[in-house]
Amino acid sequence: MSPSLLLLLAVCVLAVAILYSSVGHGGASGYIAILALFSLAPAAFKPTALVLNILVSAIATFYFARAGHFSWHLFWPFAATSIPFSFLGGYLSLPTHVYNPLVGIVLLASAYRLISRKEHEDTAVRPPSAPVSLAVGAALGFLSGLTGVGGGIFLSPLLLLLKWSRAKEVSAVAALFILVNSTAGLLGHISSLQAIPPFVPILAAAALGGGITGSFFGSCRLPASRIVKTLSAVLIIAGFKLLMV
Protein backbone atom coordinates (compact mmCIF):
# COMPACT_ATOMS: atom_id res chain seq x y z
CA MET A 1 0.00 0.00 0.00
CA SER A 2 1.40 3.40 -1.01
CA PRO A 3 1.96 6.09 1.68
CA SER A 4 -0.61 8.43 0.10
CA LEU A 5 -3.26 5.70 0.00
CA LEU A 6 -2.50 4.73 3.58
CA LEU A 7 -2.81 8.38 4.69
CA LEU A 8 -6.18 8.73 2.97
CA LEU A 9 -7.34 5.48 4.55
CA ALA A 10 -6.25 6.75 7.98
CA VAL A 11 -8.20 9.98 7.51
CA CYS A 12 -11.32 7.98 6.66
CA VAL A 13 -10.81 5.79 9.74
CA LEU A 14 -10.46 8.93 11.86
CA ALA A 15 -13.78 10.26 10.57
CA VAL A 16 -15.57 6.95 11.11
CA ALA A 17 -14.19 6.66 14.65
CA ILE A 18 -15.40 10.17 15.53
CA LEU A 19 -18.89 9.56 14.20
CA TYR A 20 -19.42 6.07 15.60
CA SER A 21 -17.91 6.70 19.02
CA SER A 22 -20.28 9.63 19.47
CA VAL A 23 -23.07 7.05 19.87
CA GLY A 24 -21.06 4.50 21.87
CA HIS A 25 -20.09 2.30 18.92
CA GLY A 26 -16.64 1.06 17.94
CA GLY A 27 -17.18 1.62 14.22
CA ALA A 28 -16.43 -1.87 12.84
CA SER A 29 -19.07 -1.73 10.13
CA GLY A 30 -17.73 1.67 9.08
CA TYR A 31 -14.14 0.40 8.94
CA ILE A 32 -15.24 -2.59 6.88
CA ALA A 33 -17.08 -0.24 4.52
CA ILE A 34 -13.97 1.91 4.09
CA LEU A 35 -11.72 -1.11 3.50
CA ALA A 36 -14.18 -2.38 0.89
CA LEU A 37 -14.29 1.00 -0.86
CA PHE A 38 -10.48 1.00 -1.00
CA SER A 39 -10.63 -2.49 -2.60
CA LEU A 40 -8.46 -4.15 0.04
CA ALA A 41 -8.44 -7.92 0.39
CA PRO A 42 -11.48 -9.27 2.29
CA ALA A 43 -9.09 -11.27 4.49
CA ALA A 44 -7.94 -7.98 6.03
CA PHE A 45 -11.44 -6.85 6.97
CA LYS A 46 -12.05 -8.86 10.13
CA PRO A 47 -8.72 -8.45 11.98
CA THR A 48 -8.48 -4.75 11.11
CA ALA A 49 -12.04 -4.01 12.17
CA LEU A 50 -11.64 -5.94 15.42
CA VAL A 51 -8.45 -4.11 16.48
CA LEU A 52 -9.89 -0.68 15.72
CA ASN A 53 -13.17 -1.66 17.36
CA ILE A 54 -11.41 -2.60 20.60
CA LEU A 55 -9.61 0.74 20.82
CA VAL A 56 -12.61 2.94 20.06
CA SER A 57 -15.15 0.98 22.10
CA ALA A 58 -12.82 1.04 25.12
CA ILE A 59 -12.68 4.82 24.91
CA ALA A 60 -16.45 5.07 24.41
CA THR A 61 -17.04 2.80 27.39
CA PHE A 62 -14.95 5.07 29.60
CA TYR A 63 -16.66 8.30 28.55
CA PHE A 64 -20.26 7.04 28.61
CA ALA A 65 -19.76 5.23 31.93
CA ARG A 66 -18.13 8.30 33.44
CA ALA A 67 -21.20 10.30 32.39
CA GLY A 68 -23.36 7.90 34.45
CA HIS A 69 -25.17 6.09 31.63
CA PHE A 70 -23.95 2.50 32.14
CA SER A 71 -26.21 -0.26 33.54
CA TRP A 72 -24.48 -3.46 34.71
CA HIS A 73 -27.84 -5.17 35.26
CA LEU A 74 -28.75 -4.69 31.60
CA PHE A 75 -25.29 -5.53 30.29
CA TRP A 76 -24.17 -8.76 31.95
CA PRO A 77 -26.73 -11.28 30.57
CA PHE A 78 -25.95 -10.27 26.99
CA ALA A 79 -22.19 -10.43 27.61
CA ALA A 80 -22.26 -13.77 29.46
CA THR A 81 -23.12 -15.74 26.32
CA SER A 82 -21.82 -13.36 23.66
CA ILE A 83 -18.15 -13.64 24.74
CA PRO A 84 -17.66 -17.40 24.14
CA PHE A 85 -19.72 -17.34 20.96
CA SER A 86 -17.75 -14.34 19.69
CA PHE A 87 -14.54 -16.28 20.27
CA LEU A 88 -16.00 -19.17 18.26
CA GLY A 89 -17.07 -16.87 15.45
CA GLY A 90 -13.64 -15.22 15.39
CA TYR A 91 -11.96 -18.61 15.08
CA LEU A 92 -13.98 -19.55 12.01
CA SER A 93 -13.01 -18.29 8.57
CA LEU A 94 -15.51 -18.14 5.73
CA PRO A 95 -14.60 -18.44 2.01
CA THR A 96 -14.75 -15.20 0.01
CA HIS A 97 -17.91 -16.15 -1.91
CA VAL A 98 -19.70 -16.56 1.42
CA TYR A 99 -17.97 -13.79 3.37
CA ASN A 100 -18.57 -11.01 0.82
CA PRO A 101 -22.38 -11.29 0.62
CA LEU A 102 -22.65 -11.90 4.37
CA VAL A 103 -20.72 -8.74 5.24
CA GLY A 104 -22.56 -6.87 2.49
CA ILE A 105 -25.88 -7.74 4.12
CA VAL A 106 -24.45 -6.74 7.50
CA LEU A 107 -23.48 -3.33 6.14
CA LEU A 108 -26.87 -2.76 4.51
CA ALA A 109 -28.61 -3.77 7.72
CA SER A 110 -26.37 -1.37 9.60
CA ALA A 111 -27.23 1.42 7.18
CA TYR A 112 -30.94 0.76 7.69
CA ARG A 113 -30.41 0.86 11.45
CA LEU A 114 -28.62 4.18 11.19
CA ILE A 115 -31.26 5.75 8.95
CA SER A 116 -34.14 4.62 11.14
CA ARG A 117 -32.47 5.50 14.44
CA LYS A 118 -34.59 7.80 16.58
CA GLU A 119 -33.25 9.98 19.35
CA HIS A 120 -35.92 10.14 22.00
CA GLU A 121 -36.20 9.07 25.57
CA ASP A 122 -39.04 6.65 26.16
CA THR A 123 -39.97 6.52 29.82
CA ALA A 124 -41.89 3.24 29.43
CA VAL A 125 -38.90 0.91 29.19
CA ARG A 126 -38.67 -2.63 30.53
CA PRO A 127 -35.47 -4.71 30.46
CA PRO A 128 -35.74 -8.21 28.92
CA SER A 129 -35.77 -11.37 31.00
CA ALA A 130 -32.46 -13.15 31.62
CA PRO A 131 -33.20 -16.10 29.25
CA VAL A 132 -34.02 -13.70 26.42
CA SER A 133 -30.86 -11.67 27.05
CA LEU A 134 -28.73 -14.82 27.15
CA ALA A 135 -30.15 -16.10 23.84
CA VAL A 136 -29.77 -12.73 22.11
CA GLY A 137 -26.24 -12.37 23.45
CA ALA A 138 -25.19 -15.75 22.04
CA ALA A 139 -26.56 -14.98 18.58
CA LEU A 140 -25.04 -11.50 18.42
CA GLY A 141 -21.71 -12.73 19.82
CA PHE A 142 -21.34 -15.40 17.15
CA LEU A 143 -22.24 -12.94 14.38
CA SER A 144 -19.84 -10.42 15.87
CA GLY A 145 -16.86 -12.75 15.84
CA LEU A 146 -17.68 -14.21 12.43
CA THR A 147 -17.96 -10.89 10.60
CA GLY A 148 -15.61 -8.66 12.61
CA VAL A 149 -18.49 -6.38 13.64
CA GLY A 150 -18.61 -5.80 17.39
CA GLY A 151 -22.32 -6.58 17.71
CA GLY A 152 -23.36 -3.24 19.14
CA ILE A 153 -24.79 -2.11 15.84
CA PHE A 154 -27.32 -4.94 16.22
CA LEU A 155 -27.78 -4.73 19.99
CA SER A 156 -28.53 -1.00 20.00
CA PRO A 157 -31.56 -1.11 17.69
CA LEU A 158 -32.93 -4.12 19.58
CA LEU A 159 -32.70 -2.29 22.90
CA LEU A 160 -34.33 0.81 21.45
CA LEU A 161 -37.01 -0.71 19.23
CA LEU A 162 -38.12 -3.24 21.86
CA LYS A 163 -38.05 -0.51 24.52
CA TRP A 164 -35.59 -2.39 26.69
CA SER A 165 -33.60 0.73 27.55
CA ARG A 166 -33.15 4.47 26.94
CA ALA A 167 -30.87 5.95 24.30
CA LYS A 168 -27.91 7.08 26.42
CA GLU A 169 -27.96 3.87 28.45
CA VAL A 170 -28.07 1.91 25.21
CA SER A 171 -24.91 3.69 24.02
CA ALA A 172 -23.08 2.89 27.25
CA VAL A 173 -24.10 -0.78 27.26
CA ALA A 174 -23.36 -1.17 23.55
CA ALA A 175 -19.86 0.28 23.99
CA LEU A 176 -18.80 -2.33 26.57
CA PHE A 177 -20.65 -5.08 24.66
CA ILE A 178 -18.61 -4.19 21.57
CA LEU A 179 -15.40 -4.12 23.58
CA VAL A 180 -15.74 -7.59 25.12
CA ASN A 181 -16.97 -9.21 21.92
CA SER A 182 -14.32 -7.62 19.72
CA THR A 183 -11.63 -8.75 22.17
CA ALA A 184 -12.98 -12.32 22.18
CA GLY A 185 -13.32 -12.29 18.40
CA LEU A 186 -9.76 -11.05 17.94
CA LEU A 187 -8.41 -13.73 20.30
CA GLY A 188 -10.29 -16.35 18.31
CA HIS A 189 -8.92 -14.93 15.07
CA ILE A 190 -5.32 -14.99 16.36
CA SER A 191 -5.69 -18.50 17.78
CA SER A 192 -6.57 -19.75 14.31
CA LEU A 193 -3.10 -18.54 13.21
CA GLN A 194 -4.36 -15.73 11.03
CA ALA A 195 -2.24 -12.57 10.86
CA ILE A 196 -3.10 -8.94 11.58
CA PRO A 197 -2.30 -6.72 8.55
CA PRO A 198 0.91 -4.64 8.92
CA PHE A 199 -0.85 -1.31 8.26
CA VAL A 200 -3.17 -1.71 11.27
CA PRO A 201 -0.98 0.24 13.79
CA ILE A 202 -1.22 3.40 11.67
CA LEU A 203 -4.98 3.05 11.37
CA ALA A 204 -5.15 2.36 15.11
CA ALA A 205 -3.54 5.72 15.85
CA ALA A 206 -6.18 7.44 13.70
CA ALA A 207 -8.97 5.48 15.39
CA LEU A 208 -7.62 6.40 18.83
CA GLY A 209 -7.78 10.11 18.08
CA GLY A 210 -11.23 9.79 16.55
CA GLY A 211 -12.53 7.72 19.44
CA ILE A 212 -11.45 10.26 22.04
CA THR A 213 -12.99 13.13 20.11
CA GLY A 214 -16.31 11.45 19.32
CA SER A 215 -16.78 9.88 22.75
CA PHE A 216 -16.12 13.16 24.54
CA PHE A 217 -18.73 15.08 22.59
CA GLY A 218 -21.23 12.24 22.17
CA SER A 219 -21.41 11.25 25.82
CA CYS A 220 -22.41 14.65 27.14
CA ARG A 221 -22.60 17.35 24.47
CA LEU A 222 -23.93 16.41 21.04
CA PRO A 223 -27.16 14.68 19.90
CA ALA A 224 -26.29 11.54 17.98
CA SER A 225 -29.01 11.39 15.31
CA ARG A 226 -27.72 13.99 12.85
CA ILE A 227 -24.15 12.75 13.06
CA VAL A 228 -24.82 9.03 12.68
CA LYS A 229 -27.08 9.29 9.64
CA THR A 230 -24.22 10.70 7.55
CA LEU A 231 -22.60 7.26 7.68
CA SER A 232 -25.49 5.44 6.02
CA ALA A 233 -24.44 6.38 2.47
CA VAL A 234 -20.95 4.87 2.91
CA LEU A 235 -22.40 1.68 4.34
CA ILE A 236 -24.92 1.33 1.50
CA ILE A 237 -22.26 1.83 -1.21
CA ALA A 238 -19.85 -0.64 0.36
CA GLY A 239 -22.62 -3.17 1.08
CA PHE A 240 -23.80 -3.22 -2.52
CA LYS A 241 -20.21 -3.38 -3.75
CA LEU A 242 -19.57 -6.54 -1.73
CA LEU A 243 -22.86 -8.10 -2.86
CA MET A 244 -21.93 -7.54 -6.52
CA VAL A 245 -18.41 -9.02 -6.26
Supply the pLDDT for residue 211: 95
**C-alpha–C-alpha distance, residues 186 and 47, integer Å:** 7
Mean pLDDT of 217-244: 74
Supply the pLDDT for residue 193: 55
Q: Which domain holds residue 127?
A: 3-244
Supply the pLDDT for residue 8: 96
Rg (CA), the chain: 16
Domain count across the chain: 1
Supply the pLDDT for residue 194: 67
- Segment 127-167, tens digit of pLDDT: 899 999 999 999 988 888 887 777 777 888 888 778 898 87
- Segment 200-224, tens digit of pLDDT: 999 999 999 999 999 998 888 766 5
- Segment 74-132, tens digit of pLDDT: 999 999 999 889 888 888 877 878 877 888 888 888 788 777 766 555 457 888 999 99
pTM of the model: 0.81
Supply the pLDDT for residue 58: 95
**C-alpha–C-alpha distance, residues 153 and 20, integer Å:** 10
Supply the pLDDT for residue 133: 94
Burial class (CB in 10 A: 0-12, 13-18, 19+), 183: buried
CB-CB contact of 232 with 23 (8 Å): no
Supply the pLDDT for residue 18: 92
- Segment 42-68, tens digit of pLDDT: 888 888 888 899 999 999 999 999 988
